[in-house]
Amino acid sequence: MNQAILDFDLQAQASDRAGFELGWDHARHGLVPPPGLLLDGTPIGQGWRAGKAVFGRRTLAATRLVRRWLALRTTAWRQGEALDPARLTLRHLAALETAHCAVTRRALGGAAGGDDAPVVARLNAAAGYTPGRLAMLCTQAAAALEGLDAGALLRRAVQADAGLADAPGGLTPAQGWRLAVLASFATTMPFTEAVRVPLRVLPPPGAEVVNPVQQLQALVTLQFVSAGWSERIRRLAALLPAAGGDALRHDLQLLAGALAARLLEARAGTEPLAVRRALEDAWADRRVNQRWQAFAHALGEAGVHTLLGRALQAPAAAARSAAPASPADGAVRPVLPRVAMAPARALRLVAAPRRAAGGGAARA
């Protein structure tokens, strides 16, 4: 019992400290916390009054980003969730900025609480408010995410496609798939399960991908965002582990051909957003998923790590080279096209804790 009381006290102290700092930061920027949190006995009210006494009118600018940062911390405090403002900084929130919701594809905007108002959503509630596990979505998509993990969302997506259930939150089946895949990016999954998840959405700004095989899936897809994809795929094939031989390169070429065919059918042109969406939609095609799964299984989990390491190191090695590489020196030019560099930042390897294999992934 003493240990339980001690744990509770420590949690209460941490919450009080976070609340005090939140009230203090409101005062620092000349803002007033929500009325219900300003009572004399509340940590936020105490911090705000202390801050006002120190700062007076000498406050910092309350930009839109600052207001969003304070609102997110307020939400986390009300939920009893830990949010370290030293880890989740204004810079991290700025990295989430986007004009369109990755799930509904509608433009973000409108009054707070509206379906299309921007919301910073946790892609994995168990990971809390951690940089890399957040995305800016519309209110409707964020609400549909609440209370469901990646496994549940993937199952609902399969059921909605088959007409056996509705997608969560009033979303369409395609939107339900995009929400489920976003959640899978932030959820550690066994290799055999992650391979089966179709890439129905590319990583939005600020979101990381924790499963290496999905990192590779996105990396291959990003080669098609601009002209010259055939040469980039050839360079990627040159980085494949030698043990796979010609069969592995052939599997990659088959996957590339399936993606290219769907992109041509979509007639997306060259507008970046249209191309990105056409590539996401290509993963609704059964043949694309079959080609991907054949390639990924032939490569294997160890091969995925090897190929990722080589592919993501190649651009850095080329940038460090003082002189342009000649064909004779065996150097590999960057695999990632310039236009793909922004979303490719989400592909850095993330050390994720191991867990026992379990159910929950959907077949593509």
What confidence tens digit (pLDDT) does each residue in 5-48 have? 444 454 557 678 888 999 999 999 999 999 888 887 889 999 99
Write the DSSP assignment of 73-126 as a string of letters.
Answer: HHHHHHHT----TTTS-HHHHHHT--SB-TTT-PBP-SSTTSTTSEEEEES-GG
Final residue belonging to a domain, choices 187, 218, 236: 187
Which DSSP letter does residue 315 get?
A: H
Q: Are residues 46 and 109 in the same domain?
A: no
Beta bridge partners of 120: 136
Final residue belonging to a domain, choices 172, 187, 202: 187
Whether residue 255 is contained in a domain is answered as yes
Of 235, 290, 226, 295, the C-alpha closest to 263 is 226
CB 48 within 8 A of CB 27: yes
Of 314, 184, 183, the C-alpha closest to 237 is 314
- Taking CA atoms, 255 is separated from 284, 291, 313, in Å, by 14, 5, 23
Q: Are residues 167 and 146 in the same domain?
A: yes
Q: Are residues 115 and 255 in the same domain?
A: no
Whether residue 73 is contained in a domain is answered as yes
Gyration radius of the chain's alpha carbons: 23
Q: Are residues 180 and 209 in the same domain?
A: no
pLDDT at residue 177 is higher than 50: yes
Q: What is the pLDDT of residues 237-269, one digit of tens each?
A: 999 998 878 999 999 999 999 999 999 999 988
Query: Averaged over 174-193, what is the pLDDT?
Result: 97
Q: Are residues 38 and 111 in the same domain?
A: no
pLDDT at residue 298 is higher than 60: yes
Q: Are residues 343 and 194 in the same domain?
A: yes
Whether residue 292 is contained in a domain is answered as yes
- Taking CA atoms, 28 is separated from 56, 90, 91, 316, in Å, by 9, 15, 18, 41
Beta bridge partners of 122: 134
> What's the confidence (pLDDT) of residue 62?
92
Q: Are residues 107 and 215 in the same domain?
A: no
Q: Are residues 126 and 168 in the same domain?
A: yes
Whether residue 355 is contained in a domain is answered as no
Q: Are residues 234 and 333 in the same domain?
A: yes
State which of 121-130, 291-300, 351-360 shows the largest mean pLDDT: 291-300
Q: Are residues 195 and 305 in the same domain?
A: yes
Domain interval for residue 233:
190-321+329-347
Whether residue 150 is contained in a domain is answered as yes
Q: Are residues 32 and 153 in the same domain?
A: no
> What's the confidence (pLDDT) of residue 11?
54
Whether residue 6 is contained in a domain is answered as no
Whether residue 354 is contained in a domain is answered as no
Number of domains in the chain: 3
Final residue belonging to a domain, choices 135, 163, 187: 187
> What's the confidence (pLDDT) of residue 335?
42
% pLDDT > 90, the chain: 68
> What's the confidence (pLDDT) of residue 150?
97
> What's the confidence (pLDDT) of residue 270?
85
Whether residue 5 is contained in a domain is answered as no
> What's the confidence (pLDDT) of residue 213?
97
Q: Are residues 104 and 42 in the same domain?
A: no
